[in-house]
Amino acid sequence: MQLTQRSKSVDRSPMTFLESLYLWNIMKGMAITLRHLFKKKATIQYPEEKRPFSPIFRGLHVLNRDAEGRENCTACGLCAVACPAEAITMEAAERLPGEENLYREEKYAAKYEINMLRCIFCGLCEEACPKDAIYLSQTFAPANYGRKGFIYGKNELLIPHPINEREAYLKALGDRTPSARIQNQPNA
């Protein structure tokens, strides 16, 4: 029964002497491999060369600071609640007098950890945050030898100081702060 118009009957006649030497077919194959020899390779030399990401790529989290370098996070826990993978843990602490230049509000996150092995990079934490304190950057977690290395604390997550380390801050900020993203939307 013929199901499609594209079916081809297989020639099962015995090979002629020339065919049985395989030479012609081998040469055809060698022409194909030779063409591939000069083709442009799709390889991206990873550590030196990086793949361009789409503008809506969701990568590693960044804990944001305000313009004076104070941490935005108030440890309200909404991100942890929103997280479907339960990757976020935090401990809140009260700001002491004299720490006003470190934390923007009276309460702050003394410990803030994201388990990057649990995280599914959905960005719901970013949506849940009322303080613009967490957002997903355009980098991804580098390889590590142990699982412990994938639990990122404040050391890894916190964005560099905007005044003291201006260049590192701008690099980490990228163009993906929530405000920048709103500006990029065509209907905003």
Strand ranges inside the chain, DSSP E: 61-63, 88-94, 107-115, 134-136, 151-152
Contact string (CB under 8 A) for another protein, positions 32-71, x = contact? xxx-xxxx-xxx-x--------------------------
Site track 14-33 with another protein (rule: CB under 8 A), x = hit: ---x--xxxx--x--xx-xx
| Nearer to another protein among residue 45 and residue 101 (C-beta) | 45
Which amino acid is residue 143, in one-letter code?
Answer: A
DSSP class of 21: T
Helix (H, G, I), strand (E, B) or coil at 31: helix
Which amino acid does the sequence have at 19? E
The rounded distance, in Å, linking the Cα atoms of 174 and 180 is: 9
CB of 45 vs another protein, minimal distance in Å? 8
Query: Closest CB to another protein among 22 and 53?
Result: 22
Residues contributing to the site for another protein (CB under 8 A): 17, 20-23, 26, 29-30, 32-34, 36-39, 41-43, 45
